[in-house]
Amino acid sequence: MTTAKINFGRRSFIKSSALAGGGLMIGFNWFASLNAQAAEVVKLPNEWFEITGYLKIGENGAITIMSPNPEIGQNIKTSMPMIVAEELDVDWKNVLVEQAPLNTAIFNRQLAGGSDSIKQSWPGLRLAGATGRKMLKEAAAKKWNVPVAEITTELGILYHQKSGKKAGYGEMASAAAQIPVPKEVELKDLKDFKIIGTSRKNVDGQKIVTGQPLFGLDYKKEGMLIAMIVHPPAFGMKLKSFDATDAKAKPGIKDVFRIKIYNDDYKPQWCDTTSFTELVAIVGNSTWEVMSARDYLKVEWEPFADHKIAMAGWGGDQLVSVPAGLESTADHHAKMTAAAAQPGKIERRDGNPEEAFKNAAKVIERTYTAPFLAHTPMEPMNFFADVTADNAKLVGPIQSPESMEKTLSARLGLPLEKIDIQMTRMGGGFGRRLYGHFMVEVALISQKMKAPVKLIYSREDEITFGIYRPAYHAFYRAALDAKNNLTAFHVRMGGIPENALHANRFPAGAIDNYLAESWAIESNISVGAMRAPGSNFNAVAEQSFLDEVAEAIGKDPIQFRLDLLKRAKENPVGKRNDYDAARYAGVLELVREKSGWDKNSAGKNRGVAAYFCHSSYVANVVDLTVEKNTPIIQKVYAAVDCGIVVNPDAAINMTEGGIVDGIGQAMYGQLTLSKGQPDQDNFDSYRLIRHAEAPKEIEVHFVQNEINPTGLGEPPYPPVMGALANALYKATGTRYYHQPFVKNKFE
């Protein structure tokens, strides 16, 4: 048992009520309805006692655990409460889970991003559970008049062995709620875990398969209006004027007006987007009426001039240049090619790479590119707001509620405590919902209408709004000596408007002479974080390149990587290497073993890749065949090291999803532009992977260790793209340098 200090603060001061199971902290009936299903499984108590801000216990032993972070499909609403339940020492079948609202007084980092939810919350969630257990023990000790150290717990029951006394948590809940939050608690030993490491079903599973309201788009309130927006049709344009006469005459339409997303003196923060800051809003009674009437709006747009935006950054204000003009993909390609021909900004330099290249017996040079991508989460952007003169209530899908509350506060002129944000389950996000401009938009619309409003984006609105994954370009060089030793490695990476370089990741640290350079081209196309930012290109380019280098050297591609990692482990070059070479090698060894790489590869079109990002390590082997000029992904093996696996089956699901997504993006994903206008705007033109194109089989293995857990939302996504490119080469004899691969070859 370890002793841990409590640092997560006090109990919340929210009143309990007998109705609790759902809606207790929330008050909307819509939310109360959400727990109906669960109540049939867990019997609701007559009274809930709030033990800490994280948990309530009913007199009958039912437990409610708050899930603090936004659920985006990463299973956090199940796996986070599992951690609390473990340390609380209760039976999982008595647990109800409730999505917590944004509450910075109780919860830390209520953010879905960076694959960090579990990693960052692990200690806090364990403490939250252990604190509850300690308070229950103290309550029992007091009641039975015995030393607290003599009290033990098991599955929601308190025992005092000497006296033979025992009591359920429910019986002690009311007394425990009066116990002061302890200063120190004991945490379980890992070997005593009963819930963590066992597969538990998605807590919302039954609601999902029966179509119960769960998502932002499903949210309703009496008297609610529906709104849509119109944004400029092209990057480089802004709103000039509009004529709403015809649209306003359509049935059900209440109003049409201009909204301005930021005040003039506002400095946008990281989660604010600055591409389309003035929009036309149309408001009416029902979705179809608003959608139909919107077509009758006559809007005039005009080009904007070069300008600079002062962004509030972590390291102080930053001036971002936004060039004028209507950009096209063809121009982007020309600009990237030109930029890549020039030396970039040196980000890391080890040894003497120039000398090594000069003396090389052989130099391998390759260029890789990838297009802009749109996030396209399945649930289109939407949000609900009810803004009055002195407060604002917002409900919907958002990855970054805490930051967006600040943006809203600045725009609405309301203090933070007057803004209430409730998070619904999200129909995906992939980073798109880190940028909550739609919350500001709906708040402004509600304020103007003096009514509750739900804003809905069409798929076209969302795909053409921007916040794309940047377009990337990478130029690699490797120097080999006469004995085929890799003597130098050079990467020059760029992008529009930012690059993907992680200069201190593998193979940095494994090669004596190493040079990493970066460049970027200004653009008015807005970009944002998309699942494994940077890594989602880096992994493909670098892992394809390493495959080619291994081939040129005449080494097995896994052994080649392992040899480099051995060097990085035993005698690393430089000090700033971001990865743990032993864990990196571990996933490669595991995937080699599980895929039968050494024995079983004959006659197969196999590719391998491994990558480290967001603190986790993943290696893949892809097996494919090409039939009628179409690649069929027969099997993907994954070896994953994310430390302790909290909910194994859900972790496998997440890994499978990352693999399918990676294959889809690499094969089909692209957003191109003509004169500032996206060429794709819905799923007929923006290609996503479909059933028949998904791998026939995926096999996931985890490295078993006792390292604190790290995230899985992002790490399984990048490496499979490299393994795919390498397997395609095996099958076709052609290397795949440019994404999407279908365009490259299979069309």
Partner 1 sequence: MAIFNLKINKKEYKVDVDPSTPMLWVLRDHLNLVGTKFGCGIAQCGACTIHLNGEAVRSCITFISEVGVKEITTIEGLSENGDHPLQMAWIEHDVPQCGYCQSGQIMTAAALLKKNPHPSDTDIEEAMNGNICRCGTYTRIKKAIKTASHS
Binding letters toward ligand FES, positions 634-673, x by CB under 6 A: ----------------------------------------
The least CB distance from residue 290 to ligand FES, in Å, is: 16
The least CB distance from residue 584 to partner 1, in Å, is: 25
- Which among partner 1, ligand FES, none contacts residue 325 (Cβ within 5 to 8 A by kind)? none
CB atoms within 10 A of CB 469: 28
> For 508-604, where are the E strands, in sequence order?
513-520
Q: Is 93 in the site for partner 1 (CB under 8 A)?
A: no
Binding letters toward partner 1, positions 405-444, x by CB under 8 A: --------------------xxxx-x--------------
Say which DSSP state 72 is in: S
The residue (of 190 and 378) whose beta carbon lies closer to ligand FES is 378
The least CB distance from residue 286 to partner 1, in Å, is: 5
How many residues does this entry show for the chain? 747
The residue (of 118 and 689) whose beta carbon lies closer to partner 1 is 689
Q: Which residue is nearest to ligand FES (CB)?
A: 378
In this structure, are residues 672 and 679 in contact, taking their beta carbons and an 8 Å threshold? yes
Distance CA 301, CA 28 (A): 40
The residue (of 626 and 694) whose beta carbon lies closer to partner 1 is 694
Contacts of 447 (CB under 8 A, 6+ apart): 387, 412
Nearest Cα neighbor of 711 from 636, 617, 587 is 617
The least CB distance from residue 405 to partner 1, in Å, is: 23
Nearest Cα neighbor of 429 from 403, 396, 454 is 396
Task: Give the β-pairing of 63-67 and 95-99.
Answer: parallel
Selected binder of partner 1 within 125, 217, 398, 541 (CB under 8 A): 217
In this structure, are residues 201 and 435 in contact, taking their beta carbons and an 8 Å threshold? no
Contacts of 155 (CB under 8 A, 6+ apart): 89, 90, 91, 194
The least CB distance from residue 200 to partner 1, in Å, is: 9
Distance CA 74, CA 366 (A): 36
Selected binder of partner 1 within 54, 107, 169, 215 (CB under 8 A): 215
Distance CA 521, CA 535 (A): 19
Selected binder of partner 1 within 16, 108, 287, 352 (CB under 8 A): 287
The residue (of 58 and 657) whose beta carbon lies closer to ligand FES is 657
Q: Is 41 in the site for partner 1 (CB under 8 A)?
A: no
The residue (of 18 and 378) whose beta carbon lies closer to ligand FES is 378
The least CB distance from residue 716 to ligand FES, in Å, is: 15
Q: Is 709 in the site for partner 1 (CB under 8 A)?
A: no
Contacts of 245 (CB under 8 A, 6+ apart): none
- Which among partner 1, ligand FES, none contacts residue 503 (Cβ within 5 to 8 A by kind)? none
Q: What does the block give as tokens for 241?
A: 């004027």
Q: Is 715 in the site for ligand FES (CB under 6 A)?
A: no
Q: Name the strand (E) or helix (H) holding 365.
A: strand 362-370
Omega prior to 709 cis, within 30 of 0: no
- Piece of 444-452, 592-600, 650-658, 732-740 that binds partner 1 (CB under 8 A): 650-658
CB atoms within 10 A of CB 559: 14
Selected binder of ligand FES within 428, 572, 574, 648 (CB under 6 A): 428
In this structure, are residues 279 and 258 in contact, taking their beta carbons and an 8 Å threshold? yes
The residue (of 124 and 662) whose beta carbon lies closer to partner 1 is 662
Binding letters toward partner 1, positions 348-387, x by CB under 8 A: ----------------------------xxxxx-------
Nearest Cα neighbor of 226 from 440, 445, 448 is 445
The least CB distance from residue 342 to partner 1, in Å, is: 38
Distance CA 17, CA 25 (A): 10
In this structure, are residues 526 and 232 in contact, taking their beta carbons and an 8 Å threshold? no
Distance CA 642, CA 648 (A): 11
Distance CA 504, CA 510 (A): 11
Report 455-474 residues binding partner 1 (CB under 8 A): 456, 458-459
Nearest Cα neighbor of 470 from 400, 518, 516, 530 is 530
Distance CA 506, CA 450 (A): 55
The residue (of 428 and 574) whose beta carbon lies closer to ligand FES is 428
CB atoms within 10 A of CB 634: 16
Contacts of 372 (CB under 8 A, 6+ apart): 468, 469, 470, 471, 496, 525, 527, 670, 671, 672, 673
Task: Give the β-pairing of 630-641 and 698-702.
Answer: parallel
Report 543-562 residues binding partner 1 (CB under 8 A): none
Q: Is 81 in the site for partner 1 (CB under 8 A)?
A: no
Selected binder of partner 1 within 268, 452, 497, 664 (CB under 8 A): 664
Selected binder of partner 1 within 208, 249, 324, 330 (CB under 8 A): 208
Distance CA 473, CA 195 (A): 45
Binding letters toward ligand FES, positions 62-101, x by CB under 6 A: -----------x----------------------------
Selected binder of ligand FES within 1, 310, 378, 707 (CB under 6 A): 378
Q: Is 303 in the site for ligand FES (CB under 6 A)?
A: no
Dmax (CA) for the chain in angstroms is 83
Report 241-260 residues binding partner 1 (CB under 8 A): 251
Report 141-200 residues binding partner 1 (CB under 8 A): 199
CA distances from 508 to 269, 356, 563, 580, 618 (A): 32, 16, 13, 12, 18
The residue (of 37 and 458) whose beta carbon lies closer to ligand FES is 458
Q: Is 82 in the site for partner 1 (CB under 8 A)?
A: no
Distance CA 100, CA 25 (A): 8
The residue (of 71 and 138) whose beta carbon lies closer to ligand FES is 71
Q: Is 74 in the site for partner 1 (CB under 8 A)?
A: yes
Q: Is 396 in the site for partner 1 (CB under 8 A)?
A: no
Report 607-626 residues binding partner 1 (CB under 8 A): none
Residues that bind ligand FES (CB under 6 A): 73, 378, 428
Residues that bind partner 1 (CB under 8 A): 37, 72-75, 199, 201-202, 204-206, 208-215, 217-218, 220, 226, 251, 286-289, 292, 376-380, 425-428, 430, 456, 458-459, 649-650, 653-654, 656-661, 664, 682-684, 688-692, 694-698
